[in-house]
Amino acid sequence: MKLTIIGFWGGYPKQNSASSGYLLEHEEFKLLIDCGSGVLAKMQNIIEPEELDAVLISHYHPDHIADIGVLQHARLIQGFLGKSFPTLPIYGHSLDKAEFAKLTYKEITKGNPYSPNDVLTVGPFQVSFLKTEHPVTCYAMRIEANRKSIVYTADSSFKEEFIEFSKGADLLLCECNFYQHQNGKSAGHMNSIDAGRFAARAGVKQLILTHLPHYGDLSKLISEASTEYTGIIKLAEEFQTISL
């Protein structure tokens, strides 16, 4: 598996950047996980919109879905220009019926509901879900292929169920929207200590902090998390790639 980080800001993208968007590739299958503001512009440095094979959405906050409509129109226009490609499946939960309905657009994209209690097969990937602690319904994901695993927390404050769900993962892509002196629980987010303690207890092999705050010295997030977790810790960066 190869993960490429397209966008990593929480809430909104910083200048010339993008909010949540992660490209996961295996056996030539290209899966986009979340599609926030700025993701389409940045993604085209790596692949074209019509090259995507599927999209997987954690929840319907704008910083995770703002560019879905942009993606739909990009593929529509490329079709007008003579390119041929199949309808793009976009997987999301159907508990918000109005937002889920927007995943389907003409013959360009098709919304497919995932069942949070079942394992979802998307191309070569097996995806398990865990409901998170967030103001809207949101699901973390454990994505597995070729005996490797990535856990993406999406947006959430810490919950005990994360530990078993993430046990032994090769990579934990963990939201970290607050510094250690801040309590993100009421906002449905984790701080640096939450993330480090989570990684240590779950015994993951590597921790990447993402969904980052727009203020402060971001390097402090690593030093704070490292008081709890002694493994590899990195901040998410644009076009950062991790191969497992």
Q: What is the pLDDT of residues 82-108, one digit of tens each?
A: 999 999 999 999 999 999 999 999 999
Q: What is the pLDDT of residue 243?
A: 97
Band (57; pLDDT cuts 50, 70, 90)? very high
What domain range is 94 assigned to?
A: 2-243
Structural domains counted in the chain: 1
Band (223; pLDDT cuts 50, 70, 90)? very high
> What span, in angstroms and rounded, lies between the C-alpha atoms of 143 and 150?
5
Q: What is the pLDDT of residue 179?
A: 98
If you count them, how many residues does the chain have?
244
Band (167; pLDDT cuts 50, 70, 90)? very high
Percent residues over pLDDT 70 in the chain: 100
Which uninterrupted H or E stretch holds 135? Answer: none
Q: What is the pLDDT of residue 131?
A: 98
The SS3 call for residue 31 is strand
Band (143; pLDDT cuts 50, 70, 90)? very high
Q: What is the pLDDT of residue 109?
A: 98
- 65-to-118, 206, 217 alpha-carbon distances in Å: 23, 27, 27
The neighbour count for residue 12, using CB atoms within 10 Å, is 15
CATH of residue 173's domain is 3.60.15.10
> What span, in angstroms and rounded, lies between the C-alpha atoms of 97 and 211?
26
The neighbour count for residue 216, using CB atoms within 10 Å, is 12
Residue 206 CB partners (closer than 8 Å, separation 6+): 170, 171, 172, 231, 232, 233, 234, 242
Q: Which residues are 241's β-sheet partners? A: 4
Q: Which residue has the tokens 């700025």?
A: 38
Question: Taking the chain, what is the end-to-end CA distance rounded to the nearest angstrom?
Answer: 5
Mean pLDDT of 67-91: 97
Whole-number mean pLDDT of the chain?
97
